[in-house]
Amino acid sequence: MNLSKFGKKLAVQSGIGQLMDDLGTAYGTPHEVFMLGGGNPAHIPEVERCLRQGMMTMLQAGDRFERAIGNYDPPEGNAEFIAAVANLLRSRFGWDIGPQNVALTNGSQLAFFILFNLFAGDYEDGTTKRILLPLIPEYIGYCDVGLTCDLFTAQRPTIEYLDEHTFKYHIDFDRLAIAADIGVICVSRPTNPTGNVLTNAELERLSALARAQGIPLIIDNAYGVPFPNIVFADAEPLWNENTIVCMSLSKLGLPGVRTGIVIAREEVIHLVARVNAVMSLAPGGLGPALLTDLVRSGRIIDLARDVIQPFYRQKMQRVLAQIRKCFQGLDYRVHRPEGAFFVWLWFPNLPITSRQLYERLKQRHVFVVPGHYSFPGLAEPWSHTHECLRVNYAQDDRIVAAGVEAIAAEVRRACESRHDLPIKEK
């Protein structure tokens, strides 16, 4: 089939496409699967009871349900929900925002498609702007949303070795250069895939660098504070007029309603709304209608702090214990998990690539995410990019434990047969 440039850019197999295909394939197979890939959140009973009660309240409150599913919202999204979000962030954190600073999208993936292509890519004056990722590894879903090629630039992080099996990536500020062709800086906090949480000082430093260059800083806050607050390190939310904060309802337990939240200065919100109108007419209204009361009352912050964060902290501690038990004798490291619900595994000198390890695990019905997709914009070769896996520990503990055992077994098998293997791709 003869495709346009758009088709050849977006309608091809991508890392995020593979990840979502795995989700669908896995749940359609008759075999038991061990889903440690994808970004599905856990089914937390207390959260689901709260959401169910919210749905019952909406069903019983006049025509709220009918309006949520039967009427288009404006292109910027549901007005009641937007006002509730703005009021909450202004009252709790002192952000100087109102409803004019908030827009919704059909999921945060669409928000990044819009924002990245607003500030980077080809300009009418013949120049091309790029997106700087100051800390990689970064989110697999960024890689293919640009309408132009080579949209990203990045540099190697520094690596701090915390103990025999734990490490942490840091932004190498000494080498961080913001060239004239940078149109926007973007970070996720907590970082997907590693669970890294930038400190408040690091975030302020990035914000100052972006402001000095007259470009925005985008903070991907899908797992961050104040909700869903899957954060195990000290972190305060940051917003200013030069910063764009992207949030989501997905990791609260609502990935099916596809609701992204963009918080930015008014001019940016107008642009997002205009693109919304072209691409999808309006954001879906069911998710915002379901969560409006929870946001308006502030209970969403309590739920995140008192239920969601402790739930994932306990699961993180259990998966680390399982890794220590199963990986004894292996050459491995784990990035210190400071947030989100992933562990990032590094196997130094692994004799096969992470992609090959991923394929071997699939044969055992264990699904993970190979790490090589998570280094967009890195121009220099680095063997480290082929030695890492992302593992989602949000699922049932039995599933996670079995998956970790399978990873350990396959890494052992690869290491024991290293002399019979071809040289690893670099």
pLDDT for 13 equals 59
User: What is the chain's Cα-based Rg?
Assistant: 21
Q: What is the 3-state secondary structure (H, E, C) of 32-100?
A: CCEECCCCCCCCCHHHHHHHHHHHHHHHHCCCHHHHHHHCCCCCCCCHHHHHHHHHHHHHHHCCCCCHH
295 phi, psi to nearest 5 deg: -75, -45
**pLDDT band for position 424 (cuts 50, 70, 90):** very low
Cα–Cα distance measured from residue 146 to residue 135, given in angstroms and rounded to the nearest whole number: 19
The whole-model pTM stands at 0.92
- Asked whether residue 421 carries a pLDDT value surpassing 70, the answer given is no
**Tokens matching residue 37:** 């890939």
**pLDDT band for position 5 (cuts 50, 70, 90):** confident
Average pLDDT over residues 295-304: 97
- Asked whether residue 227 carries a pLDDT value surpassing 50, the answer given is yes
Domains of the chain: 5-46+303-420 (3.90.1150.10), 75-299 (3.40.640.10)
- Tens of pLDDT, residue by residue over 332-372, are 999 999 999 999 999 998 999 999 999 999 999 999 999 99
Grouping H, G, I as helix, E, B as strand and the rest as coil, residue 133 is strand
- Asked whether residue 171 carries a pLDDT value surpassing 50, the answer given is yes
**pLDDT band for position 422 (cuts 50, 70, 90):** very low
Helix axes 354-363, 397-416, angle to 10 degrees: 120
- Tens of pLDDT, residue by residue over 125-169, are 999 999 999 999 999 999 888 888 889 999 999 999 999 999 999
pLDDT for 111 equals 97
Contact assessment for residue 177 and residue 213, using Cβ atoms and an 8 Å cutoff = no
- Asked whether residue 50 carries a pLDDT value surpassing 70, the answer given is yes
- Tens of pLDDT, residue by residue over 69-83, are 999 999 999 999 999
The per-residue pLDDT of the chain, averaged, comes to 92
Contact assessment for residue 399 and residue 391, using Cβ atoms and an 8 Å cutoff = no
pLDDT for 423 equals 40
